[in-house]
Amino acid sequence: MIYNTGDTHSDFSRFTEENFPIQSEMTKDDYIIICGDFGGVWTFEEECRREKEALDWLNNKNFTTLFVDGNHENYTRLYNYPIEE
């Protein structure tokens, strides 16, 4: 399955079990695509504890999270991540 959403602005509460119960049936082969304004990579120079906890929380979900960067992103940090296939 593929689900689309947008504008999380680092508020991932829509992905809690309560707000998104179908995730219990999902696997890492199912995708959530955040279409713009993800906000998960936000603090200016380096990842802060809150940001790491949020990203780890998303990574530990049953589904795979993907995002398309939007106009409210930290491009300085995003451009410094390695490109992987």
Predicted pLDDT at 25: 97
Task: Please tell me what DSSP assigns to residue 12.
Answer: -
Average pLDDT, the chain: 93
Predicted pLDDT at 42: 86
Task: Please tell me what DSSP assigns to residue 35.
Answer: E
Contact 64, 31 (CB under 8 A): yes
* Confidence (pTM): 0.86
Measured CA distances, 44 to 25, 40, 49 (Å): 36, 12, 13
Predicted pLDDT at 66: 96
Q: Where are the domains of the chain?
A: 31-39+60-85
